[in-house]
Each structure stands twice: as C-alpha cells, then as structure tokens.
Amino acid sequence: MNILVCVKQVPDTTQIKIDPVKHTLIREGVPAILNPFDGYALEAAARIKDKDPATKIVVVTMGPPQASAVLKECVGIAADKGYLVTGRTFGGSDTLATSYILSHAIKKIEETEGKFDAIFCGKQAIDGDTAQVGPEIAEWLDLPQVTYGLECFATEDGLNVNKEIDGGYEVVNVKLPCLVTFTMPSFEPRYPTIKRKLMANKAKFVELGDDFDPTMDAAHYGLNGSPTHVKKSFTPPVKEGGMKIKEETGEESAKKLAGILVDKNIV
Amino acid sequence: MEAKTKDLWVFIETNEDGSPQRVGLELLNPGRMMADKQGGKLVGVVIGNNIADTAKQASIYGADTVICVEGAEYQHYTTDAYVKALYHLITKYAPTTVMIGATNNGRDLGPRLSARLQTGLTADCTSLDIDEETGNVAWTRPAFGGNLMATIMCPDHRPQCGTVRPGVFKRPEAGEDKAEYIKEEFHVAPEEIRTTLVEVVKEAAGELVDLEGAEVIVAGGRGVGGPEGFEPLKELAETLGGVVGASRAAVDAGWIPHAHQVGQTGKTVGPKIYVAAGISGAIQHVAGMSSSKYIIAVNKDEDAAIFNIADYGIVGDLFEVIPALNAEIKKLKA
C-alpha cells in the first residue's frame, strides 16, 4: 500500500505558560514537537507496514524550513520519505487555504511517488485544535473520509477503520483511495530505533517552495486567500472570588461546604 | 456563494432513533439572539430518520422555520450523505450563517461541508456574538490547549459557518409549537456513500456515560490513587444525581475507562456542578470543564492550579472530605 501521512510541527502546548502580568502566551523556550495526533496517524501506517512490508510511507509537512525536524523524526519512527512544503506566500493561511495548498502538494508528490492509496492525518493539531484540515483535504481531492480513527486494517477492497464513538468504537469500511484522521489509541505508538535514527540523520527531504505548482490560484491561499480572519486573541479570564475552605479537619471543611451548597440551593 | 437571506441555521443532529443531540437544541438559544441581531429567521435543520418529534422540539425551543430531510440513508450518520443533503439545502436557501454542534459527527461534517461551499468555518466555539460594526458573526474559540482565546470572523464568504461545543449554552425555555415546517425530499443513492458500517463494538455494559448531558459531574484525578478510589466519588455522584468523570492521568493509569475523561483529549462538559477531586488542574483538563457553573475542588495541595478556577475549594484529603460531604448533604437534604 502507498500511504501518505500529513504531519505538523507544533509548540508543546502542555509547556506553554501565561505571562501573569501581560496576559500573553510565553512561547520562548517551548519545545517544537511532532503533533501527537499525527504520531498516531504515523503509527497506524506503520502497523499496516508491519503486516505488509511492501507498504511505502511518505510524510509531508507544511511550515517554515525548521519544520523538517518532524520529517526527520517520522523517518526515525517509520517513514520512508519526506516532503517539506514551505513558502512565504503560504503564511497566514487558514485551514481552508492550508488544505488547498496541501491538496496541490499531494498531487505534485504523487507525480514522483505514485498515487496514494490512503492519506492519514492526525485528528487535529494541538496548537489550533480545529480538526478541519484533514476533511478539507479530502474534499479538495474528492476522497471518502473517516475521522476519529483508532486503528485500521487493510481489507480486500479498502480499509476497515476502528472509529471512536461514545462508549466504544465502530468498524467502518472505506474504499480506496481515502483519507483517515486518527485520535489517541489505547496503545503506545512506537519509538524510533537507533538504526532508524541513524538513517533519519542522513535523510534528505524534497522541498516544495512557493512556485511548486504554477496552476495554484493565489486567491485561494495565504492571508488574502483565507476566508476566516482572527479579529483578536486574548487569554481566558481568570475566575475570581473563589472561596477556599481549610478547617481543622477534612470532615469539618466538608460540613461547612455542604452547608453553603444547601443554603444557596446549589444542590 | 452569496447569502440570499439573513437567516441563521442551526443544524440539529439526530441519533439513530431520530431523537435530537442535545447540542442542537442548545444552539437555538444563542441562535435566537444572533438571528434577531442579524434581522433574519432562526431556522432549525433536521436530517435523519423518524424525525417528526425532533422537528417539533426544534419548533418548541424557538425555531421560526424547521427544514426536515428524512430518509433511511440518514439514520446512521455518514459524511457523504449528510454533506450532500446539507450542501443541497444551503445552496437552495442561501442562509447567511450556519451553526453545527461540535460533536464527533459535527466536527466530521463541518469542515467537509464548508470546503464544498468554499467558505470559512470556525471550530469548537465557546462564545458567540454579532460584531456590531460589520454585522459578521464573532466566533470565539479556545486554541493552544485552552491557553488562548481567539475571536474569528468570516467577512467576505457566505454562509459563515461554525461548530459550537456541547454544554456551553443552555437549551432555551420551551414555547409554543408555531414554526413553519418545510419538508425537503432529497435522497442519496447507496453507491454515493463511500463508507459502510461493518459493526459497532461497545465497551462492557455500564460504561456508557453521558458526561455532556450531566447536570452534576464528580471527577477524580491522580489523587484518587487507584480504581477503588473512585468509589466515594461514585457515591457522591449518586447522591447529587450525577455521573463520574476523570482526568487524563486517571484514565491513562487504567483506573477508569476513557469514556469518563474530561478535557482536551476527552469530553468538553458544562454541568451545573463540577467536583474535581484529586485533580491538579492542568490546562488541558480545565479546557474541558471551565464553563461549569459551580466548580468545587478538593485537593491536598494548597497551591494546586485547580483552586484558581474553583468557586469553592477545600484543602484536604479527598478520602476524608468526599464521604463527609456526601453524608452531610444527605443529612441536610433529608
């Protein structure tokens, strides 16, 4: 099977702190990591390759030149080849514009790598949390989609995707070619091996720059080609006026709180 | 495309039995406020099978018009059928705004639909308004794991679309059934649906938990120490008529199934009462529960971040506090 995995380099949002005075994000010193959900997508591809070693896994990312670090990480884990889509004119793209660029990049990459049977994405990136780019790529490329995948298995005529639902999962069969987005499975994704890490250090990645596809319409990408615009951003308001209860014993504290909750008709 | 009306649409997702997903009815609440400001109608759009009762509920909870599309192919959600049906309706009636509940299906549908319409979508909104200056919808949503809020607008493309988190808004008060009903005959052929449901695998019985619909959630984190540590929480939840939630730490440790998880990688909830026991208050957890009306925190660590957002915080051992709280509430309410 020929699989493309779309990945993104993101700031580790678990390490972002808020400047208590200016109420802005402190981004300095926050490590850039492979979006964890994209890691699950790569793991899903690797599991297909475990069963069918003829499988090829290509990764693509869009971002500044330093984003190639995540391509290297993916090769260390399981990918065979990597492509970096990078261009100044791509900056400021919202999700629809990003998916427009990526869908063209995918067609370009297919000229070299052959048609992809499946495109895997993370459910969402942990910085934007939109979960939009995957389904939007699927629309541009007219592919069937399955979202919230946990794991998937090749079948005779497609893929069976275990799709997360409340209280369990559905098995959904989808015909190839298709696009699947992945959420957190119950198993731990694999780590890079020493051997693969050495390979990754030597890996060269193909760059697709601003003009990789002259047929692209500038009205569809970049800041000006994006239908949505951020009007303002702000840090969420801090809740004030909370009451802290600390009596001699936990039991006394609990009694005091119970009294308040009942008095105020909260319970 | 161009909006031919000033109408605001709320997509009301249905379950397999035709009943509505709660968030669809919740959205009629901000929908009414925004439709009035936009100077258009509030339209509920119901797609599914056996949806007569849901259509009536949309009317009772405030829609001026209810558009229904019914068919066996809509009983179980599929991307292909739902996007086709909604695309057909939207291009026919040309509303100015479309709102969709940010359920798993809503988040599958929204981006696919907005891409087909070549318009903008703002995902997972937690606050909505109409910008006075431009008349555009101001969609506000969390980003960076809840560390930052962004207000987004879609000035030049119509319809402006957004998905909105369940539990953020309260369902409106019920009124009279006085909406105009429009029945649209639109069908999608089986061969146009490119996915097939093979089987549904449910976890062990008793593990289905309706966090999003709960009025009260008693949640435990690392501090509960093990699966048995959830017992006093369950008892308090029973007393208060609520359900048990959990932080990622407790789920990852295997103490409680993922279905109970609240937070960025779990469910977003907005109950009346949220009790956080032994939960430190990591931003990823807070992102999923901060819109709760009353937050009660119990933690041994006086400096735990959860106290910053709690309305009532008890510094103490949860195994002492929670049973005592349960006993005292039972006594006072008796």
ipTM score of complex: 0.92
CB distance from B72 to chain A under 8 Å? no
Structure tokens, B222: 């690392």
- b/e map A25-54, b = 16+ CB within 10 Å: beeeebeebbbbbbbbbbbbbbbbbeeeee
Please provide the CATH number assigned to the domain covering A2-220: 3.40.50.620
A159, A165, A166: best mutation site toward chain B, by most B Cβ within 10 Å?
A166
Q: Are residues B79 and B223 in the same domain?
A: no
Look at residue B297 and tell me whether its pLDDT is greater than 80. yes
Q: Are residues B18 and B160 in the same domain?
A: yes
Look at residue B170 and tell me whether its pLDDT is greater than 70. yes
CATH of residue B35's domain is: 3.40.50.620
CB-CB neighbors (< 8 A) of B202 in chain A: 167-168
B150: in domain: yes
**What is the pLDDT at residue B64?**
98
In eight-state DSSP terms, residue B2 is: -
Total structural domains in chain B?
A: 2
* Strand, coil or helix: B243: strand
Cα distances (Å, whole numbers) of residue B143 to A13, A24, B11, B257, B279: 9, 13, 24, 26, 22
- Pairing label, strands B312-315, A243-245: parallel
Q: Are residues B243 and B134 in the same domain?
A: no
* pLDDT-based confidence at residue B155 (cuts at 50, 70, 90): very high
Q: Are residues B94 and B220 in the same domain?
A: no
B14: in domain: yes
Let me know: does B55 contact B77? Beta carbons within 8 Å: no
* pLDDT-based confidence at residue B290 (cuts at 50, 70, 90): confident
Our CA-based measurement puts residue B241 at a distance from the nearest CA of chain A, in whole angstroms, of: 10
CB distance from B308 to chain A under 8 Å? yes
**R_g (Cα) of chain A, nearest Å:** 23
Q: Are residues B178 and B233 in the same domain?
A: no
Q: Are residues B140 and B273 in the same domain?
A: no
Look at residue B268 and tell me whether its pLDDT is greater than 90. no
B206: in domain: no
B314, B319, B330: best mutation site toward chain A, by most A Cβ within 10 Å?
B314
Cβ-proximal residues to A189 (8 Å cutoff; 6+ apart), any chain: A39, A40, A42, A43, A77
Q: Kindly compute the dihedral angle of the four CA atoms of residues A63, A67, A68, A72, in this order, to the nearest 10 degrees.
A: -140
Q: Are residues B220 and B285 in the same domain?
A: yes
* A228, closest residue in chain B (CA to CA): B154
pTM of the model: 0.89
Residue A222: half-sphere exposure toward Cβ, Cα within 13 Å: 10
Let me know: does A249 contact B320? Beta carbons within 8 Å: yes
Task: Provide the mean pLDDT of chain B.
Answer: 94
CB-CB neighbors (< 8 A) of B155 in chain A: 229
Look at residue B218 and tell me whether its pLDDT is greater than 80. yes
B200: in domain: no
CATH of residue B298's domain is: 3.40.50.1220
Look at residue B115 and tell me whether its pLDDT is greater than 60. yes
Out of A126, A135, A171, closest to residue B112 by CB: A135
**What is the pLDDT at residue B58?**
98
User: Contact A129/B157, CB-based, under 8 Å?
Assistant: no
B203: in domain: no
When pLDDT is averaged across residues B265-286 and rounded to a whole number, the result is 90
Q: Are residues B33 and B159 in the same domain?
A: yes
CB-CB neighbors (< 8 A) of B201 in chain A: 162, 168-171
Cβ-proximal residues to A156 (8 Å cutoff; 6+ apart), any chain: none
When pLDDT is averaged across residues B91-118 and rounded to a whole number, the result is 97
B238, B312, B318: best mutation site toward chain A, by most A Cβ within 10 Å?
B312
User: Contact B111/A132, CB-based, under 8 Å?
Assistant: yes
Which residue segment(s) compose the domain that B177 sits in? 8-192
* pLDDT-based confidence at residue B145 (cuts at 50, 70, 90): confident
Tokens 């109420």, residue located? A23
Convert the pLDDT of each residue in B43-59 to its tens digit.
999 999 999 999 999 99
* Least confident range of A87-91, B157-161, B163-167: B163-167
Q: Are residues B143 and B248 in the same domain?
A: no
> Looking at per-residue confidence, does B2 or A42 come out higher?
A42
User: Contact A132/B198, CB-based, under 8 Å?
Assistant: no
Out of A131, A175, A261, closest to residue B107 by CB: A131
**What is the pLDDT at residue B266?**
83
A29: left (phi over 0), alpha (psi -120 to 50) or beta: left
CB distance from B252 to chain A under 8 Å? no
| Of A85, A108, A118, residue with least CA distance to A221 | A85
pLDDT in tens, chain A (267 residues): 999 999 999 998 877 777 777 777 787 889 999 999 999 999 999 999 999 999 999 999 999 999 999 999 999 999 999 999 999 999 999 999 999 999 999 999 999 999 999 999 999 999 888 999 999 999 999 999 999 999 999 999 899 999 998 778 999 999 999 999 999 888 889 999 999 999 999 999 999 999 999 999 999 999 999 999 999 988 877 666 689 999 999 999 999 999 999 999 998
Let me know: does A6 contact A41? Beta carbons within 8 Å: yes
Q: Are residues B99 and B238 in the same domain?
A: no
Residues in chain B: 334
User: Contact A239/B295, CB-based, under 8 Å?
Assistant: yes
Helix axes A95-113, B104-117, angle to 10 degrees: 80
Out of A134, A236, A257, closest to residue B312 by CB: A257
Q: Structural domain boundaries of chain A?
A: 2-220, 237-267
**What is the pLDDT at residue B166?**
87
B208: in domain: no
B144, B239, B251, B272: best mutation site toward chain A, by most A Cβ within 10 Å?
B144
Out of B147, B307, B314, closest to residue A257 by CB: B314
